[in-house]
Amino acid sequence: MAGKPATIPVTVGVLALQGDFREHLEVLRSLGATAVPVRRAEELTAIDGLVIPGGESTVIDKLSRAFGVAEPVKQAIAAGMPVYGTCAGLIMIADRVLDAIEGQQSFGGLDVAVRRNAFGSQTESFEVELRMPVLGDPPVHAVFIRAPVVETVGDQVTALASLADGRVVAVQQGNLLGTSFHPEITGDTRFHQYFLNRVRATAFRS
C-alpha cells in the first residue's frame, strides 16, 4: 500500500462511550485532523484511525458490548486500523488484562498483559518526566491516573517508554499504540502527532 500523502486529510474517531474523549477530540482537531466521536458500529466505516480514551475500562467494556460496537472494533483492529489507547484505552486493546473484574473483556490486538490500577489505591495519581526516544526531546511530562502498567510484552511489541524502575508504560505493535498515561491533558501534542503520522501512512479505508 502506498499510504496517503500527509496533505490528504484524515478522519480519526474517538470512542466516546465514557471517559475523557472530549480532550482527545480537541487535541486531534488542533493538529489539523478531522476528529469525530464514535458510539455506533456504522461510524467506524468513516474513520482512518481510532483513539480509545482514558476513563474506566470496565465501563467502556460493558457499554461497547451493549452498543454493539465491541465486535466491529475488534474486526477493525484485526484488519489493521490504527488505534491509540490511553490508560483505560490501553487496557481495552491489551490481549490480557490482569486484576480485571469478573467477566471483563478487552478488544485485544496488542500482544501484552496489562495490570489495572498497578500503582495501588495509595497512589491515585502522579506525574513524572519520561524519556521517549521516538518523540525526541524534551522528555514527556506524563500524568498517571489510577494507571495500568504493561507487565509482559510479546515478540512484536516495542516498549516506547519505561519508568525509572523499568516498568513499561508506553508500547507499540505495528498500528497499535498504547500509553499508561494521558498526553491529552498536558498540552504536549507529540504523541497524537506520532499517531496521526501512523494514520496518514496507513491508507486504512482504501
Q: Which is nearer to ligand GLN, 10 or 69 (CB)?
A: 69
Binders of ligand GLN in range 47-86 (CB under 6 A): 54-57
Q: Which is nearer to ligand GLN, 57 or 175 (CB)?
A: 57
Does the annotation mark 182 as catalytic?
yes
Q: Which is nearer to ligand GLN, 38 or 94 (CB)?
A: 94
Contacts of 68 (CB under 8 A, 6+ apart): 40, 41
Q: Which of 23, 42, 71, 87 is catalytic?
A: 87
In the chain, DSSP assigns E strands to 11-15, 34-38, 49-52, 83-86, 94-98, 110-115, 125-130, 140-145, 149-153, 158-162, 168-173, 176-179
Minimum distance from residue 105 beta carbon to ligand GLN (Å)? 13
Binders of ligand GLN in range 138-167 (CB under 6 A): 145-146
Set of cell numbers at residue 140: 514527556
Does the annotation mark 141 as catalytic?
no
Q: Which is nearer to ligand GLN, 26 or 42 (CB)?
A: 26
How far apart CA 4 and CA 90 sit, in angstroms, is 26
- 130 within 8 A of 139, measured Cβ to Cβ: yes
Binders of ligand GLN in range 105-134 (CB under 6 A): 116-117
How far apart CA 1 and CA 13 sit, in angstroms, is 22
Neighbours of 24 (CB within 10 A): 29
Please count the residues of this chain forming the interface with ligand GLN, following the rule CB under 6 A.
11
Sign of torsion over alpha carbons 158, 193, 134, 139? negative
The verdict on 87 binding ligand GLN (CB under 6 A) reads yes
Single residue of 91, 93, 150, 169 touching ligand GLN by CB under 6 A: 91
Neighbours of 95 (CB within 10 A): 16
Minimum distance from residue 116 beta carbon to ligand GLN (Å)? 4
* Single-letter residue type at 33: A
Does the annotation mark 151 as catalytic?
no
The verdict on 4 binding ligand GLN (CB under 6 A) reads no
Q: Which of 23, 24, 182, 192 is catalytic?
A: 182
Which residues lie near ligand GLN (CB under 6 A)? 54-57, 87-88, 91, 116-117, 145-146
- Catalytic residue ranges: 87, 182, 184
